[in-house]
């Protein structure tokens, strides 16, 4: 899941995008609406004026071409029309003046002539002035006119004001909706995160309990699991392991020996050297551990540690004899800290070694048993880590580990 702060940023960006998109859409809709209304009103006024002048127009049309041209020129001047074109369907253009001011899309008249009750009209802008382009049947049957009729600047200002008002109302409404929804969404998100974290921590506690139960059979203490998990975490951070791989490393650290549940006590706790048959039995705990976690999706990423923590860097380990980088990096990290804690811890069959003695032993097998690069990083940290975790106080170790792993399992940190 996303952090609340990231969710807030994401929500804010989405709302900004919604505001911008809606602003553009509403601007276009409102502008188109008011322009259409303005064009309708202008057209109505023009047609009414044409109707009132019908007798005079008819007289001019029936007269000579020169008389008609003079009449139309005077009409253009009186009405401040920069363009007027009149033509008869059978004869073509009778009068045309000012066509150069038209936008390119209007330079040629339409192939299909408009009906008497369905003129073609549209607002357009030229030289910072607004005009109504009109293509209509006028005068009498068979006569048509195209004209650019000026629209009052006051009307265009009204369109602009109405568009701005509608856009402002839309934006304010969306902002109000966002302000109402955001607290509800964040409250719901935190509740979901809290519930999910309870489930997540319950899963983690069960993993810890299972791992600790196995550890008690082997070492008579579950402190081993807390220490190796903490060591593995700090080493993983130091070598730059990908953050998304760390939860699997931690689960695997607790469950690395879960397969030992199937190993008899007579072998697991035997104080003397194991024979060949007993070694084969105890090595089988890797396959048994994989079988136990198989089919549990939440534990899928623990398999790398469970399957590979007994593989050696030189290929001499088990169960598959993997070597080098063929061993999962999580397993290479864990094998270092597992051996370190085993040597520095008390067991029923041995006393703990000092850190210095342990590192001397591990130095001798670095490059054979361990990834030398990872071991070198750990060696620089070993003394400090051991000081932090050298305790059999289970509650103290658990508190230290829980604090350290919180960022990797809490949904609030992801």
Q: Which helix (H) or strand (E) holds 23?
A: helix 4-52
In whole angstroms, what is the distance from residue 125 CA to residue 27 CA? 18
Six token digits for residue 177: 């909706």
The average pLDDT across 361-379 equals 95
Q: Confidence band (pLDDT; 50, 70, 90) for 150?
A: confident
Average pLDDT, the chain: 80
Measured between alpha carbons, how far is residue 351 from residues 209, 339, 389 in Å? 26, 15, 17
In whole angstroms, what is the distance from residue 194 CA to residue 143 CA? 79
Q: Identify the residue with better confidence: 127 or 38.
A: 127
Here the contacts of 86-95 (C-beta below 8 Å, separation 24 or greater) are: 86/139, 86/143, 86/144, 86/145, 87/143, 87/144, 88/142, 88/143, 88/144, 89/113, 89/142, 89/143, 89/144, 90/142, 94/65, 94/68, 95/68, 95/69
pLDDT at residue number 42: 67
Please report the DSSP string for 283-324 in residue order.
HTHHHHHHHHHTT-GGGGGGHHHHHHTT--TTS--SSS---G
Q: 47-80 in b/e burial notation, b at 16+ Cβ within 10 A? A: eeebeeeeeebeebbeeeeeebbebbeebbeeee
Q: Which residues pair with 120 in a beta bridge?
A: 135
pLDDT at residue number 122: 79
In whole angstroms, what is the distance from residue 21 CA to residue 180 CA? 20
pLDDT in tens, 56-98: 556 555 666 677 777 778 877 877 888 888 777 777 777 888 8
The average pLDDT across 19-28 equals 72
- List the end-to-end C-alpha distance of the chain, in Å, as a whole number: 6
Residue 158 in this model has a pLDDT that exceeds 80: no
Residue 233 in this model has a pLDDT that exceeds 90: yes
Q: Confidence band (pLDDT; 50, 70, 90) for 18?
A: confident
> Is residue 308 left, alpha or beta, with left meaning phi > 0 and alpha meaning psi from -120 to 50?
alpha
Q: Which helix (H) or strand (E) holds 39?
A: helix 4-52
Residue 48 in this model has a pLDDT that exceeds 70: no
Six token digits for residue 359: 């590192």
In whole angstroms, what is the distance from residue 105 CA to residue 109 CA? 9
In whole angstroms, what is the distance from residue 238 CA to residue 273 CA? 36
In whole angstroms, what is the distance from residue 101 CA to residue 107 CA? 9
Six token digits for residue 88: 């008869």
**Cβ–Cβ under 8 Å, residues 87 and 93:** yes
**Cβ–Cβ under 8 Å, residues 382 and 340:** yes
Residue 307 in this model has a pLDDT that exceeds 80: yes
pLDDT at residue number 1: 45
Local structure of residue 95 (DSSP, 8 states) = E
- The percentage of the chain sitting over the pLDDT mark of 90, rounded to a whole number, equals 27
Please report the DSSP string for 168-225 in residue order.
HHHHHHHHHHHHHHHHHHHHHHHHHHHHHHHHHHHHHHHHHHHHHHHHHHHHS-SHHH
| Nearest alpha-carbon partner for 214 in 330, 337, 306, 339 | 306
In whole angstroms, what is the distance from residue 155 CA to residue 358 CA? 91
Residue 176 in this model has a pLDDT that exceeds 90: no
In whole angstroms, what is the distance from residue 310 CA to residue 291 CA? 16
Measured between alpha carbons, how far is residue 188 from residues 3, 194, 195, 366 in Å? 13, 10, 11, 52
Is 223 exposed, middle or buried (CB count within 10 Å of its CB: 0-12, 13-18, 19+)?
A: buried
pLDDT at residue number 313: 95
**Cβ–Cβ under 8 Å, residues 229 and 253:** yes
The average pLDDT across 125-138 equals 81
Residue 274 in this model has a pLDDT that exceeds 80: yes
Most confident option among 24-33, 185-194, 222-231, 363-372: 363-372
Local structure of residue 353 (DSSP, 8 states) = P
The average pLDDT across 351-364 equals 93
The average pLDDT across 34-54 equals 64
Residue 257 in this model has a pLDDT that exceeds 80: yes
Which segment of 42-56, 154-168, 329-343 scores lowest on mean pLDDT? 42-56
Residue 413 in this model has a pLDDT that exceeds 70: no
| Nearest alpha-carbon partner for 154 in 235, 49, 42 | 42
Residue 131 in this model has a pLDDT that exceeds 70: yes
């Amino acid at each position: 899941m996303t952090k609340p702060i990231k969710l807030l940023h994401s929500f804010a960006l989405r709302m900004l995008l919604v505001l911008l998109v809606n602003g553009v859409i509403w601007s276009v809709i409102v502008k188109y609406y008011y322009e259409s209304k303005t064009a309708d009103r202008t057209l109505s006024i023009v047609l009414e004026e044409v109707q009132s002048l019908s007798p005079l127009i008819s007289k001019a049309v029936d007269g000579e071409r020169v008389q008609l041209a003079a009449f139309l020129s005077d009409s253009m001047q009186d009405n401040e029309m920069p363009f007027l074109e009149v033509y008869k369907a059978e004869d073509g253009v009778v009068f045309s003046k000012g066509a150069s001011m038209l936008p390119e899309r209007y330079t040629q008249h339409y192939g299909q002539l408009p009906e008497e009750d369905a003129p073609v009209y549209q607002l357009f802008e030229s030289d910072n002035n607004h005009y109504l382009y009109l293509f209509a049947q006028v005068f009498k049957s068979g006569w048509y006119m195209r004209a650019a009729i000026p629209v009052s600047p006051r009307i265009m200002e009204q369109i602009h004001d109405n568009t701005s008002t509608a856009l402002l109302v839309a934006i304010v409404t969306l902002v109000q909706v966002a302000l109402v929804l955001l607290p509800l969404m964040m409250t719901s998100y935190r509740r979901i995160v809290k519930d999910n974290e309870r489930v997540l921590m319950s899963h983690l506690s069960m993993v810890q309990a299972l791992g600790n139960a196995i550890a008690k059979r082997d070492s008579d203490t579950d402190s081993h699991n807390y220490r190796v998990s903490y060591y593995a975490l700090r080493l993983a951070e130091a070598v730059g392991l990908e953050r998304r791989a760390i939860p699997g490393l931690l689960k695997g650290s607790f469950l690395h020996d879960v397969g030992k549940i199937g190993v008899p006590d007579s072998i697991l706790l035997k104080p003397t050297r194991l024979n060949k048959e007993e070694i084969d039995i105890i090595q089988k705990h890797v396959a048994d551990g994989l079988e136990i976690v198989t089919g549990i999706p939440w534990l899928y990423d623990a398999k790398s540690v469970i399957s590979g923590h007994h593989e050696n860097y030189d290929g001499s380990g088990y169960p598959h004899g993997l070597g080098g980088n063929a061993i999962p990096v999580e397993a290479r990290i864990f094998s270092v800290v597992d051996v370190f804690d085993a040597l520095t811890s008390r067991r029923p069959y041995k006393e703990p070694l000092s850190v210095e003695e342990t590192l001397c032993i591990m130095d001798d097998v670095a490059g054979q048993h361990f990834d030398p690069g990872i071991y070198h990083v750990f060696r620089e940290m070993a003394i400090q880590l051991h000081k932090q975790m050298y305790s059999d106080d289970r509650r103290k170790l658990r508190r230290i580990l829980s604090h350290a792993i919180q960022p990797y399992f809490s949904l609030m940190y992801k």
